[in-house]
Structures are given as C-alpha cells and as structure tokens.
C-alpha cells in the first residue's frame, strides 16, 4: 500500500490539488477555454470512433482466430500482441513513414484526424481481440450448430446465440480501448501536428510552464479514467456471478 | 454457424488484410528506411555515442523498474488473494489505475510531487537529490506505468492454485519462506514470468511519462524512445535516419519480447 501510495496515489492527488489550487473558477476557466474544449471534444470523439471500430474489427479477428483454420494462423495470433510489445513512439514513427510527407503511397494522412485515428487503432488492436477470444474458445459450438440445424440463418445465429455470450467481453475490450485512446500520447505525438489532442495539449502546457492549466485538463481525463475503471469493475462482477 | 466457403474466405481475407495494413506494412517500411542507404550507414547511426548511451539508459531503467514491480506484484497479488485485510477491494481497484491514466498525466503528477517546489521535491533537492529531469524520475515514471502487469498475471493463478497445499506445508512444519519457495512459487511461476515480460515490454518502450520528467539531454537522460522522438522532431534527413535506426533497435527488442510472450503463453496453456 505504501509502495502504491509513493508511486501512484500521492502524485495523482497532487494533480487534483494543483488543478483546484487557485479556486474552482480558475479550474473551470482552464477547461472551458476554446483550446481545451476543442481538444477534449476531439479526443473523446476520436476515442469513441476508435472504440467502435475496434469492437467490430476485434470481434471479427477473434472469431476468425477461433473458428477458422488456415496456414499461418499461429503467426497471425502472435502478431495481435505486437502493439503491446512495440513502443508506442515506434508505432507513431511507422505511421509517419507510411502516411507522412514522403509517403510511398502518396497518401498524406499525417497531421490530420485520420492519422490520429489510425494511430489509435494500432495501439488498441489487442484489447477487444484478447478479451473476446477466450470467451469464444469456451463457447460450445453445439449451440450454434443446433440453431443452424433448426433453420436459423448465420446472422440470426450470431445475433441470438453468439453475440449474447460475448457481449460483455466486447464491451470491456472496447472500454479499455476507449480509455487507452483518451490518454494515448506516444503514438500520436509525431503525427498529430495541428490536431489538438488532450494529452498533447497537456504536454504543451507543461512545456510552457502552465502546470495549473495542464493539471485542470488532466483532472477531466482522470475522471473519465475513473468512470471507465468503475464500469469495468461492474462488468467484471456481473460476469463472475 | 455453417459458413459457406466463399464467406469464410472473404472473412479471412478481411482479417488478414486489416492486420497487414495496420501492423506489417508500417514495420516493413521502417526497416526499409533504416537500411535503404546500406547496412553500414544504419550501423553508424546505431553506434553514435548518443544512441549507445540511450540504449544503455533504457536497459538500466528497465533493470531497476522490472524487479521492483515483480517483487511488489507478487506481494500485492498475495495480499489480494489470500489477505484478510480491510480495504482489499479498494486496493484491487486502485491497482489498475496506471492502465487507464494517460502517461502525460503521470509525468505531470511526478513533477508536482518530486519536482522543484513540489510536495517532496524541495526536501530532496535540499539533500542534494535531483529526481525530476534526472534518471531517478525516469525510473519512478517507468515503475508507475508498468506497475499492474505482474499483479494482474499472478493474482488469478494464485486464486486457482488454492490454499490447501500451502496449509499442508505449514502443518508439516515448513517455515514461511520454505512454503513460498517450494509450494507457492512453482505454481505461480508461469504467471510471474508472463507478467515480467509484459512489464519489461512496457518499461522499455515508455515515452509519454518519461518524456515529461527527462531533461532530454543526449548522453545523460535520453532513452531509446526519447531518441526516436527527438531525432524525428529535428529538421533534416540525417536526423530522421537516426530516428529510424533507433526505431529499428526498438522493433528488434520488441519482436524478441513478443517471441518470449508467445512461447510463455503456449507453455502456460500446456501447464493448465
């Protein structure tokens, strides 16, 4: 507990104290000016889109990895964890190399919102896959076959049989993706450019010696993180029962 | 579900294509950019004094942070699973904080506490200990962001292993340390190993938190990820080559980590 306090709790408390050090009105000014509001809006919007795409694609990837058999599958399965193993700054650099000013495909997504979305999709790829996959493995294929033999279409089978059992793990994977998206820095710092993302605005505030403004935006992000943490815990408990 | 072959093939193509565009093509391009002027040039960039010092600092920071978090992780998992202390539920919830807090906020938080004019910063500075803008702060930042991995890998294994064997060992007169070494440790070792790999991956690659608390001086407080960031922000094709060279080093390290992760994962499945 002491270890946790020294490294985690006391520093986070210091952020909250700093944000309100000059009274609540300074705090509200710091988070309601146009730069901060815009940054928070873009960040939350981008994270929502990323969580949604991740949920769909992640479920698809998990399904193919569990129910399909093809050569090279184990390699694909191992690759899923690459974004966890790869330093985020390298992820950012690779995307700059791909879509930056001298892109080999003539695409120029860097310094745009699409570039930021791609970077976030990259770093959040494993969350949904790795949370849905084990549930799919445990899921009995007999129920699916049963539904099919009773004349249910594939879509009906998925919607009525498969989806209800994996819904919770999709949601918790997507929630983790969302949390990661809101706070991500390394992968987008090189290619965000003029797109104002909350973590980059905080960094700029720290660099320009405005810790109160940085702390205020941080408090908003911390609040979002806490809400997601609580949501995940509630989901986890329901799962256990 | 009965899926027709064309549908199956198209799903497969979509998935593999998505992964290729997202993962493989970018990595390949970084390798290409690193080695496009020949191996010698790339090697030159990897062996500049700044690059060598960045690599060694990265490894040193990981070598301090990983053992700390491993020991803490095992103890903490033990408390969470076996402990009867009050506030266990709160501890359980707080452990995950570093997973959801933005690394930039971590850096800011450490400055506010350990930096000049911070809560404890002045005391440390008065005793001649510099934490922020020095390697010590970078270690603390790394410990913060990689803290939950070992706990989260060990706790479920410990829960599954049950208490009976430990109790049996204790009844037979084994000391606390003997029980831990002979009974508990063998049952959780794969969980610990997996947690250590995940911790190392995070510790080696952290940028956001470390960037804020580093003075970003080449040769003293630059890690490999910071070197990539700094070189890429500089103007000129030469500096960018340096960024790609450092990135390639990091990719090689993380591919090794990924390999260990996959092997350990398979080993763990077999043990179950």
Residue A54 contacts B where some CB pair is shorter than 8 Å: no
Contacts of A115 (CB under 8 A, 6+ apart): A95, A99, A109, A188, A191, A192, A193, A195
Residue A172 contacts B where some CB pair is shorter than 8 Å: no
Contacts of A117 (CB under 8 A, 6+ apart): A46, A49, A50
Q: How many residues does chain A have?
A: 241
Q: Token pair for residue B91?
A: 């501890």
Dihedral sign from CA coordinates of A43, B225, B218, B124: positive
- With H, G, I as helix, E, B as strand and everything else as coil, classify residue A110: coil
- Interchain proximity B140–A7, CB inside 8 Å: yes
Q: Token pair for residue A56?
A: 């769909």
- Interchain proximity B108–A199, CB inside 8 Å: no
How far is C-alpha B16 from the chain's CA centre? Answer: 27
Compute the average pLDDT of residues A103-110.
Answer: 61
Task: Tell me which chain A residue has its CA closest to the CA of residue B113.
Answer: A11
CA A67 – CA B229 distance, rounded (Å) = 41
Question: Given this model, what pLDDT does residue B7 score?
Answer: 77
Question: Given this model, what pLDDT does residue B235 score?
Answer: 65
Q: CA separation (Å) from A237 to A8, A176, A241, B207? A: 25, 16, 6, 33
A-to-B residue pairs, Cβ atoms closer than 8 angstroms: 241
Q: CA separation (Å) from B33 to A87, B19, B151? A: 18, 21, 39
Residue A157 contacts B where some CB pair is shorter than 8 Å: yes
CA B162 – CA B182 distance, rounded (Å) = 15
Q: What angle do CA A91, B225, A99 make, to 5 degrees?
A: 30
Q: Token pair for residue A54?
A: 């991740």
Residue A16 contacts B where some CB pair is shorter than 8 Å: no
On whether the CB atoms of residues B233 and A53 are closer than 8 A, the answer is no
Residue A97 contacts B where some CB pair is shorter than 8 Å: yes
Which of B110, B229, B258 minimises the CB distance to A81?
A: B258
**pLDDT tops 70 at residue A97:** yes
Angle between helices B25-35 and A88-99 (to 10 degrees): 80
**pLDDT tops 80 at residue A88:** yes
Residues of chain B with pLDDT under 50: none
**pLDDT tops 60 at residue A224:** yes
Question: Given this model, what pLDDT does residue A113 score?
Answer: 76
Dihedral sign from CA coordinates of B157, B161, B163, B169: negative
On whether the CB atoms of residues A87 and B225 are closer than 8 A, the answer is yes
Nearest to A130 by CA among A56, A46, A73, A61: A61
Residue range A3-20, pLDDT digits in tens: 777 778 888 888 888 888
Residues of chain B contacting A144 with CB distance shorter than 8 Å: 1
Contacts of A153 (CB under 8 A, 6+ apart): none
Highest mean pLDDT among A16-25, A39-48, A94-103, B251-260: A39-48
Nearest to B243 by CA among B225, B254, B226, B231: B231
CA distance B168 to chain A (A): 29
- What count of other Cβ atoms lies within 10 Å of the Cβ of residue A66? 17
Q: What percent of chain B has pLDDT over 90?
A: 10
Residue range A197-206, pLDDT digits in tens: 888 888 888 8
Question: Given this model, what pLDDT does residue A149 score?
Answer: 82
- Interchain proximity B101–A87, CB inside 8 Å: no
Q: What is the DSSP-derived secondary structure letter of residue B6?
A: H
CA distance B184 to chain A (A): 22
Q: Token pair for residue A163?
A: 């989806």
Task: Tell me which chain B residue has its CA closest to the CA of residue A10.
Answer: B113
CA distance A84 to chain B (A): 8
Residue A202 contacts B where some CB pair is shorter than 8 Å: yes
Q: What is the DSSP-derived secondary structure letter of residue A105?
A: T
On whether the CB atoms of residues B34 and B231 are closer than 8 A, the answer is no
CA A183 – CA A229 distance, rounded (Å) = 14
């Amino acid at each position: 507990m002491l270890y946790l306090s020294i490294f985690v709790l006391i520093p986070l408390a210091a952020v909250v104290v700093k944000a309100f050090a000059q009274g609540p009105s300074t705090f509200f000014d710091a988070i309601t000016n146009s730069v901060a509001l815009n940054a928070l809006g873009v960040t939350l919007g981008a994270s929502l889109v990323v969580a949604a795409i991740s949920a769909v694609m992640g479920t698809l990837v998990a399904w193919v990895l569990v129910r399909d058999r093809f050569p090279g599958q184990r390699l694909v399965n191992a690759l899923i964890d690459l974004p966890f193993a790869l330093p985020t700054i390298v992820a950012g650099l690779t995307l700059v190399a791909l879509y930056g000013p001298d892109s080999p495909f003539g695409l120029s997504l860097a310094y745009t919102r699409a570039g930021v979305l791609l970077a976030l999709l990259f770093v959040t790829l494993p969350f949904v896959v790795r949370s849905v996959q084990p549930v799919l493995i445990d899921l009995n294929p007999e129920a699916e076959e049963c539904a099919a033999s009773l004349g249910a279409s594939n879509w009906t089978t998925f919607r009525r049989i498969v989806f209800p059992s994996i819904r919770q793990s999709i949601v918790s994977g997507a929630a983790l993706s969302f949390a990661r998206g809101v706070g991500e820095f390394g992968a987008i710092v090189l290619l965000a450019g003029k797109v104002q993302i909350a973590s980059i605005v905080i960094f700029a505030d720290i660099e320009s010696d405005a810790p109160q403004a940085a702390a205020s935006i941080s408090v908003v992000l911390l609040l979002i993180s806490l809400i997601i943490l609580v949501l995940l815990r509630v989901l986890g408990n329901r799962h256990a029962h | 579900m009965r899926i027709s072959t064309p549908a199956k093939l198209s799903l497969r193509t979509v998935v593999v294509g998505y992964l290729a565009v997202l993962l493989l093509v970018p990595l390949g391009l970084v390798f290409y950019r690193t080695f496009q002027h020949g191996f010698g040039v790339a090697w030159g960039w990897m062996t500049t004094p700044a690059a060598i010092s960045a690599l060694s600092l990265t490894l040193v920071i990981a070598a301090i942070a990983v053992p700390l978090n491993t020991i803490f992780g095992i103890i903490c998992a033990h408390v969470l699973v076996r402990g009867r202390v009050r506030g266990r539920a709160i501890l359980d919830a707080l452990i995950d904080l570093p997973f959801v807090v933005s690394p930039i906020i971590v850096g800011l938080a450490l400055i506010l506490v350990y930096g000049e004019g911070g809560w404890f910063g002045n005391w440390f500075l008065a005793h001649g200990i510099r934490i922020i803008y020095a390697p010590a702060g970078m270690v603390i930042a790394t410990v913060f962001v990689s803290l939950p991995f070992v706990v989260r890998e060990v706790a479920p294994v410990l829960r599954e292993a049950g208490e009976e064997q430990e109790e049996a060992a204790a009844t037979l007169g084994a000391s606390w340390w003997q029980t831990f070494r002979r009974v508990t440790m063998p049952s959780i070792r794969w969980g610990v190993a997996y947690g250590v790999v995940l911790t190392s991956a995070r510790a080696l690659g952290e940028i956001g938190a470390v960037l804020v608390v580093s003075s970003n001086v080449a040769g003293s407080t630059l890690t490999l990820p910071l070197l990539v960031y700094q070189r890429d922000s500089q103007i000129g094709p030469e500096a960018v080559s340096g960024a790609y060279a450092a990135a390639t080093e990091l990719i090689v390290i993380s591919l090794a980590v990924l390999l260990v992760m996959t092997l350990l994962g398979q080993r763990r499945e077999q043990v179950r």
